[in-house]
A and B are shown apart, each in its own frame.
Chain A
Amino acid sequence: GENVEQHPSTLSVQEGDSAVIKCTYSDSASNYFPWYKQELGKRPQLIIDIRSNVGEKKDQRIAVTLNKTAKHFSLHITETQPEDSAVYFCAASLEYGNKLVFGAGTILRVKS
């Protein structure tokens, strides 16, 4: 089955700096890759997603890139703010909106 690896496990950045989180997946048939932000004790919230027919997607300070050949995708957050501090999970799915296989998560700390 699908396996998703996520790095780093923790990331500390200074406010205003950029943060990059990387994920790799094992199943080349996966075609949908969402990113979720989860604050302590709360639900995961979708922040951005990308499908396999697209190489890059951007939404204000957040961008995701996908390299299908290498089977990896990355989350880029620019101009980080303290409220960006949370746990971020990448995920992969064999079918758009179907069951998700999550990465282990990255704790992002933005220091002011």
Chain B
Amino acid sequence: GAVVSQHPSWVICKSGTSVKIECRSLDFQATTMFWYRQFPKQSLMLMATSNEGSKATYEQGVEKDKFLINHASLTLSTLTVTSAHPEDSSFYICSVKGMGSQHFGDGTRLSIL
């Protein structure tokens, strides 16, 4: 069964809207979760590492004020895309480190009109 639950799976919204994506670890207590972004026909690019109880670590070029990450418990991390614009349209996927490897959520397809 699924190890990681990610919601919503699909979002369409107007430009300027903020969108929150949830990532839940179902089987592990996850002190660390990862957020990736995948543009069409491209690879997965790490955006940030989410740390339970502390600030996220962002990769170079990723705006921390644009992509807000909250990891308030051992089972839940959220990514909020603030004031989303069409160029933010992408496939966002979270992953959880557990049992020696990373387990991915089903992803969220975000479309900004």
Specify which chain A residues have a CB less than 8 angstroms from the CB of B42 in the assembled complex. 104-105
In A78-109, the 8 Å CB interface with B consists of: 89, 96-105
Specify which chain A residues have a CB less than 8 angstroms from the CB of B105 in the assembled complex. 43
In B53-92, the 8 Å CB interface with A consists of: none
Across the interface, B44 reaches (CB within 8 A) one of A41, A42, A89, namely A89
Q: How far is the CA of A92 from the CA of B26 in the complex (A)?
A: 25
The answer to the question of A55 belonging to the interface, with a C-beta cut-off of 8 Å to chain B, is no
Interface size class of B (residues with CB under 8 A): 20 to 34
Q: How far is the CA of A101 from the CA of B100 in the complex (A)?
A: 16
Q: A44 touching B34 by the CB < 8 A rule?
A: no
Determine how close the nearest CB of chain B comes to the CB of A109; give it in whole angstroms.
14
Determine how close the nearest CB of chain B comes to the CB of A1; give it in whole angstroms.
8
In A27-80, the 8 Å CB interface with B consists of: 34, 41-46, 49
Q: B101 touching A46 by the CB < 8 A rule?
A: yes
The count of residues in chain A whose C-beta lies closer than 8 Å to any C-beta of chain B is 19
Q: B43 touching A100 by the CB < 8 A rule?
A: no
Q: How far is the CA of A78 from the CA of B37 in the complex (A)?
A: 31
Q: A49 touching B97 by the CB < 8 A rule?
A: no
Query: Which A-chain residue is minimally distant from B34 (CB atoms)?
Result: A99
| Most A CB within 10 A of own CB, among B42, B44, B93, B109 | B44
Q: B104 touching A89 by the CB < 8 A rule?
A: no
CB within 8 Å for A100 and B46 given contacts A42-B106, A43-B105, A46-B101: yes
Specify which chain B residues have a CB less than 8 angstroms from the CB of A34 in the assembled complex. 101-102
Q: A43 touching B46 by the CB < 8 A rule?
A: no
Q: How far is the CA of A96 from the CA of B97 in the complex (A)?
A: 9
Across the interface, B104 reaches (CB within 8 A) one of A43, A97, A98, A103, namely A43
Report which B residues bind A (CB closer than 8 A).
32, 34, 42-46, 49, 93, 97-98, 100-107, 109
Report which A residues bind B (CB closer than 8 A).
34, 41-46, 49, 89, 96-105
